[in-house]
Structure 1
Amino acid sequence: MSLQDKYKEVTNLAYELGITNLQVREQDNVLYIDGTAKSAADKDKLWKTYEKIDPEFRSADVVMNIEVTQGSSTEYTVVNGDSLSKIGKAHGVSWQAIFEANKDIIKNPDLIQPGWKLKIPTA
């Protein structure tokens, strides 16, 4: 079974979501999926679909480079006791969306510091 067949559900969803500049290619036993999503929620849907096929992300046979169209976002200052999940729940977005929007600041999603100013993507 080719990787394109194995991950057909992911690529079909990408087409359904209207991922722009979508490119799907197989090279050296890795499936590359590139494109731009309209929202962080759409990007999360792709990752959740991938996770159904490879629940522990162990196959290491997919590289998904999905950018999110620069939409509006709000700024949030981290306070003591915050976690990305807690912040995400308060703003109606996933912790993964916040992490993706702040990869320049956050290296480990489990370690955030009070005082950091994070971009919160709109849901």
Structure 2
Amino acid sequence: MGLFDFAKAVGHKLFTKDADAEEKIREHIEQANPGIQDLKVSYQDGAVSLSGKTDDAAAMEKAVLMAGNVMGVEKVTADGLEAPEAVEKVDYYVIQKGDTLSAVAKHFYGKASAYPRIFDANREVIKDPDLIFPGQKIRIPLDDA
């Protein structure tokens, strides 16, 4: 899947000491259970590397986004995650100041009422469609838009 860049200064504050980062990020991903088996997380100087196995490419994408949307993380690699090739086409979008999921849906799909599609594709990343934050990176499904 390669390397993803994130905004290091924004996101969910899960740890205060770098020594706690690996455990806290792993727990954060496993709590939402996107479907990764044998998940391992390594963290060094703002860079996270994920490894494990999944039967679903979307689970891998969600795990990367969950790790990257943590304050203190600026890069995530998932080269150690075994996953099938993605079938669904997706784009990635960084939430801007003033954005709503409705506005993002209007931009990508031409209608604000399509926001539940974005929310459903990001349930592990976005817990409440009214609580998104600038700098947060999300998945935008493109097939059958």
TM-score by length of 1: 0.39
TM-score by length of 2: 0.35
More relative contact order, 1 or 2 (CA 8 Å, 6+ apart): 2
